[in-house]
Structure 1
Amino acid sequence: MIGLVLAAGAGRRLRPYTDTLPKALVPVGPEQDGEAATTVLDLTLGNFAEVGITDVAVVVGYRKEAVYERKEALEAKYGVKLTLIDNDKAEEWNNAYSLWCARDSIRHGVILANGDTVHPVSVEKTLLAARGEGRRIILALDTVKQLADEEMKVVVDPAKGVQKITKLMDPAEATGEYIGVTLIEGEAAEDLADALKTTFERDPDLYYEDGYQELVNRGFKIDVAPIGDVKWVEIDNHDDLAKGREIACQY
């Protein structure tokens, strides 16, 4: 089991920070003792290290040179080995293609984390505890939060697993919100890669969650693991960033 971070996005709603940095490297914590400020990538690597994951693949694209520059320092700080995967279409296509770029890494079995999700290590621990009994893909699901239109909403059948995953849904129909962290077993890699390829070939602007939906439509069972009442945020804009900074300092 390795870690996988999608860190190729531009995050244009976070300018001016993202004029020179990918979203995953926008500071969510203060500088300390001369060290660079904590970022979402820092938090995620720290989580991975805490659960014993020492190999991490990071998909990079927009302003990827900033990640390359910090690679050695991040490896030393968190005791991990980073493999950087270039997404050549990061500024043109959405993240279904970005996850497909990591298809070879997924064969090892991964915990996937979006590069803009501030969350505690309890999420990784919950996913790892949910392994077994034939589960091949497990989504971290927030069943506590009050949902609105922007969230990635999920409908779950207790017996059949995920039935629908989309932002385009009445919040009242949803079981909960997918928080951007997934455990994917290696045996799911080939099926997932094919579903993602079908998805971005249909429309390059689609999300990898649309690839999950494609899998579900093919009869593949995707499971969920409720994360409980924990504080987390997906950072899309400056309001989210302020929340992320409040949350990050608690972990």
Structure 2
Amino acid sequence: MKNEINRPPMAVILAAGVGSRLSPLTDNCAKSLLSVGGSVILERMIRNCLSCGLSQFVLVLGHRADEIKQFVDKTFRGIRVTYVINDRYRETNTGYSLMLASKAVGTAEFAKLDADVVFNVKILRQLADDRRADVLCIDQNIVLEDEEVKVITDDQMQVLEVGKSVDPKRALGEYIGIEKISAKTGPLLFAELAQMMQSPARYQDYYEDAYARLLAKGAVFHVLDITGTNWTEIDDADDFAAANAMFGTPVTTVSRGQQRAIDEAAAKPIRA
């Protein structure tokens, strides 16, 4: 029962960006509404969340917000979703977008997902079941360069540093844009973001910068190593092609009990 208590009920999805590096694919379509493996990216993400018991959603939108709202309302009739609009999406970044979710989230525990990440549902299932309070998903099987958000940990998998400027030689792996934030840390995170965004000079900061500031103040974050499980962030045409190669079939909503039965059946030896 302890796992059930710790499982976050809410998913915060950041989907405000333009996706200009995917042009011309995004010239007339929001990035999150592109199709990968027969399923729209955002549909795949929401279905994965529903499969893991996350039943409430906060979507932070900006570019082509009306189109995304119409798609979600039509595809997922009856789900509990709050739309938050970032009117400054062209001049701000993920830190500003996440800050705007503060009122909708309140003091609830939540999973935060970047809308341009396509992932195997097993990642989210492991994260939801993790007993630890504040957890970032990382992949060790990545060539770390300047673009990646890198994470340094101690021997107990506790985060020491996080960010793009982290020394790749000391980093354990790449943070993949999926994490779990506890009810205790959430208000501290939103307060940190609000303080950062008082200055327009920080509008382009990433939310990971707030995590780094919280770490410096003594906050504790851990990592969940998802190395070997399929996922990809979609930034450009090469990423989009890789995602379609990795995820070749449409997603379906599978309950936890159904997934357990599938896994048990797959584990049984085949009799001649």
- Which of 189, 213, 221 is residue 186 of structure 2 equivalent to? 189
How far is the alpha carbon of 1:244 from its aligned partner?
1.2
Instruction: Indicate yes or no: 2:128 matched with 1:128.
Output: yes
- Which of 172, 183, 186 is residue 175 of structure 1 equivalent to? 172
State how far apart, in whole Å, the 1-side matches of 2:130 and 2:186 are: 18
SS in structure 1 at match of 2:92 = coil
Tell me the equivalent position of 1:43: 44
How far is the alpha carbon of 1:130 from its aligned partner?
1.6
Tell me the equivalent position of 1:87: 86
SS in structure 1 at match of 2:198 = helix
- Which of 14, 32, 42 is residue 22 of structure 2 equivalent to? 14
Unaligned 5+ residue runs, structure 1? Answer: 31-37
How far is the alpha carbon of 1:80 from its aligned partner?
2.9
How far is the alpha carbon of 1:248 from its aligned partner?
2.3
Structure showing greater Rg: 2
How far is the alpha carbon of 1:125 from its aligned partner?
1.2
How far is the alpha carbon of 1:159 from its aligned partner?
4.4
State how far apart, in whole Å, the 1-side matches of 2:101 and 2:141 are: 31
Provide the TM-score with structure 2 as the length reference.
0.82
Tell me the equivalent position of 1:119: 119
Alpha-carbon deviations, 1:173-229, whole Å to 9, x = none?
A: 111110000111222121000111233335111100111111111111111111131
State how far apart, in whole Å, the 1-side matches of 2:37 and 2:66 are: 21
Preserved contact between residue 14 and residue 59 of structure 2 (Cα < 8 Å): yes
Provide the TM-score with structure 1 as the length reference.
0.89
| Identity across matched positions, percent | 31
State how far apart, in whole Å, the 2-side matches of 1:219 and 1:234 are: 30
Query: Given the superposition, is the C-alpha separation of residues 247 and 204 from structure 1 closer, same or farther in structure 2, using an over 3 Å criterion?
Result: same
Which residue identity lines up with residue 43 of structure 2 in the other structure? D
Q: How many pairs are equivalent?
A: 239
Preserved contact between residue 8 and residue 61 of structure 1 (Cα < 8 Å): yes
Instruction: Indicate yes or no: 2:34 matched with 1:26.
Output: yes
Instruction: Indicate yes or no: 2:145 matched with 1:148.
Output: yes
Unaligned 5+ residue runs, structure 2? Answer: 1-8, 252-272
State how far apart, in whole Å, the 2-side matches of 1:74 and 1:112 are: 21
State how far apart, in whole Å, the 1-side matches of 2:80 and 2:50 are: 10
SS in structure 2 at match of 1:221 = coil
Which residue identity lines up with residue 148 of structure 1 in the other structure? E
Alpha-carbon deviations, 1:107-150, whole Å to 9, x = none?
A: 22111110100111111111122224xx2x21011123332332
State how far apart, in whole Å, the 2-side matches of 1:64 and 1:164 are: 34
Counterparts of 1:196-215 in structure 2, within 5 Å, are: 196-202=193-199, 203-215=202-214
How far is the alpha carbon of 1:47 from its aligned partner?
0.7
State how far apart, in whole Å, the 2-side matches of 1:13 and 1:119 are: 20
Say which is worse superposed, 43-52 or 168-177, in terms of deviation: 168-177
State how far apart, in whole Å, the 2-side matches of 1:109 and 1:21 are: 32
State how far apart, in whole Å, the 2-side matches of 1:131 and 1:80 are: 26
Counterparts of 1:60-71 in structure 2, within 5 Å, are: 60-71=61-72
State how far apart, in whole Å, the 2-side matches of 1:206 and 1:58 are: 19
